[in-house]
Amino acid sequence: MNLLLEIGGWAGTVLVVWSLMQARVLRFRWLNLTGSALATLYNGIVGIWPFFAMNGVIVIINVYWLIRLNRERHSAAAYAVVEVAPDDAYLLHVLRVHAEDIAEHAPRFRASPGPDERRHAFLVQRGDETVARVWSFGLVRDVVAVQCVEDGLLWGGDRGRERGGGAVDGDRCRAQGA
């Protein structure tokens, strides 16, 4: 069999397996689409029809989700920002769970506000799913941290050093600098 064809088939397999190890949904979809497209091509040329059909369907599914995810990515209708109390039990639980990451990225952040400190906290919702959390000192524009559930990514900055407007990018979940 043609060596280049075999390399293409194996590359498709590796990409599909690698895609399954991705935490970020868009990265997963793009890698899975590329791998399944290569596998579809390989299986079609070699004549392995059951796998050709299966990978072809996976390609269609990935294209559908990529279109849908990119359409909703920055849609105000898809995401809602809900203010919660800084001492909200759910928020405090999240702060405890991610304390190590918060300490690394925002070392001066403390879960309990100081006596003269005003705090704001927001949850970014997509339907009934929490996709990001935003905590801030003082004014809403002084973002302390944005934590993205989907990506497992924590962005943070020290008060006064990193300034953010609190806007969240649906894919990267990072605070926009002010």
pLDDT (0 to 100) of residue 148: 47
Q: How far apart are CA 32 and CA 12, in angstroms?
A: 9
Q: Extract the residue ranges of the chain whose pLDDT is less than 50.
A: 138-178
pLDDT (0 to 100) of residue 175: 39
Residues 6+ apart with CB under 8 A from 12: 34, 35, 36, 37, 38, 39, 40, 41, 42, 55
pLDDT (0 to 100) of residue 122: 81
Collapsed DSSP state (helix, strand, coil) of residue 103? helix
pLDDT (0 to 100) of residue 35: 97
Tokens encoding 61: 């599914």
CB 63 within 8 A of CB 33: yes
pLDDT (0 to 100) of residue 158: 36
pLDDT (0 to 100) of residue 117: 73
Q: Where are the beta strands (DSSP E) in the chain?
A: 80-84, 119-126, 129-137, 142-148, 153-156, 164-168, 175-177
pLDDT (0 to 100) of residue 88: 84
Q: How far apart are CA 12 and CA 42, in angstroms?
A: 8
How many H-runs (helices) and E-runs (strands) does the chain carry?
5, 7
Give the chain's largest Cα–Cα span.
74
